[in-house]
Amino acid sequence: MRRRAHLRLVTSFEGEDTTLTAVLSAEDLAEELGLDPHARVTCGLHRCWLHQCVASPDHVIPVTGHRWCRPCRSPLEVFVDETSASLVCPVCGTGTPDTAANRQVVRACRTSIAASHAQ
């Protein structure tokens, strides 16, 4: 793999950024070719791992239901730990309202957390 060879050349403190940059550009391209933007593990808007910016208001998308509680018409709060993420509605207290969109947010965050640890 060309990318792996390249990774060995960088110093350790730059390693994570290099991984991020590689995945970011790969996903930018994949998105142009039809990858669902919500399936990304990096953020095309904030240019970081998804779990690092998913708490931003930019990631609340009422139209699609991502990070959104439909019954309450309210954005979900995000809690990220070492291995996973969870979504909680501050209005009704529901943990990760069981919709395809919210499950997708959690799944993408899990993958993003794992990818950011994989060096």
Q: Is 105 in the site for Zn ion (CB under 5 A)?
A: no
**What tokens does 117 get?**
């640890």
CB of 4 to Zn ion, least distance (A): 27
Which stretch, 6-14, 15-23, 49-57, 80-88, contacts Zn ion (CB under 5 A)? 49-57
For residues 32 and 26, what is the distance between their CA atoms, to the nearest angstrom? Answer: 10
Phi, psi of 75 (to 5 degrees): -70, 145
Q: Is 69 in the site for Zn ion (CB under 5 A)?
A: yes
Which stretch, 17-25, 30-38, 89-97, 99-107, contacts Zn ion (CB under 5 A)? 89-97
CB of 83 to Zn ion, least distance (A): 20
Q: Give me the half-sphere count of Cα atoms (radius 13 Å) on the Cβ side of residue 27.
A: 22
For residue 87, give the H/E element and its range: strand 85-88
Q: Which residues of the chain form contacts with Zn ion (CB under 5 A)?
A: 43, 45-46, 53, 69, 72, 89, 91-92
